[in-house]
Structure 1
């Protein structure tokens, strides 16, 4: 299921949620396996990643910043690809996405994209669908202490 889907026909950037990483294992139940998919006329790539409930919250906040015209950086840590999105890149006069896998392959991809109006609302809709399909079912009551939500 798509969490992020940006495309202008020539360039495409997607984050696809594949499912729960370890269903039924309390401390891992709400973690998801996912993948980044990048396609252009020049390069295509796929990169495995995992997502946590906090990543989904951070993506929601990032969408608010994008809607306000601000650049965002999502997933900026040592264990996952860094995803930067500019709602407007001055050089290309379009939106742009940069994906950097500095902790793994050391590859970076920059994709300028002419996105349709309403693209941020579409990303919000996708986020709602992901949360509906895989709601958070585990509560972390304190560091390292987990319980099932009732």
Structure 2
């Protein structure tokens, strides 16, 4: 790891609650010769339900994130904060994340793998104002990795 990679690993997002976790973990950066980041590599980690009881799922989906994806995630957070449902990276060549509101305090998150196993995994998680504060902080930290701060 170089000094430019300080702050790794880092999470772009984390949805968590009642034995359900969906998180995108950034593990490394692909850089140009001048040191600027081209894209980040990572995994979407899914741990939902009670795997030991046979009523759950656990897995890791490799993925990548570019600066365009970060901008799209900021727009998705803004829309969620306004009470709208979102689809991040829909119809792109990457794992999709769909988030919809259920009641005023619950988000339903679906990770859709259209490129590999053609599988959807859905989890419900509670959400609060503090979650949004944390989500924007996570996004700013990942933006910082791309900017080399």
Q: TM-score, normalised by structure 2?
A: 0.80
Per-residue CA deviations over 1:91-130 (Å, capped at 9, x if unaligned) read: xx72110011012111110101123442122110001111
User: Which structure shows the higher helix fraction?
Assistant: 2
Higher mean displacement: 72-81 or 112-121: 112-121
Q: Conserved in 2, the CA contact under 8 Å of 1:99 and 1:110?
A: yes
Match of 2:13, SS? strand
Q: How does 1:1-150 map to 2 (within 5 A)?
A: 1-21=10-30, 23-25=31-33, 29-40=37-48, 41=50, 42-86=56-100, 88-89=101-102, 94-135=106-147
Match of 2:41, SS? strand
Deviation of residue 13 (structure 1)? 0.6
Q: Conserved in 2, the CA contact under 8 Å of 1:18 and 1:34?
A: yes
Report the Cα distance in structure 1 between the residues aligned to 2:134 and 2:109, rounded to whole angstroms: 16
Report the Cα distance in structure 2 between the residues aligned to 1:38 and 1:30, rounded to whole angstroms: 26
Report the Cα distance in structure 2 between the residues aligned to 1:66 and 1:8, rounded to whole angstroms: 18
Match of 1:105, SS? coil
Report the Cα distance in structure 2 between the residues aligned to 1:124 and 1:117, rounded to whole angstroms: 11
Q: Conserved in 1, the CA contact under 8 Å of 2:89 and 2:96?
A: yes
Report the Cα distance in structure 1 between the residues aligned to 2:93 and 2:140, rounded to whole angstroms: 25
**Runs of 4+ in structure 1 displaced over 6 angstroms?**
none
**What 5-or-longer segments of structure 1 have no aligned partner?**
138-150
Q: TM-score, normalised by structure 1?
A: 0.79
Q: Conserved in 2, the CA contact under 8 Å of 1:2 and 1:14?
A: yes
Report the Cα distance in structure 2 between the residues aligned to 1:65 and 1:8, rounded to whole angstroms: 21
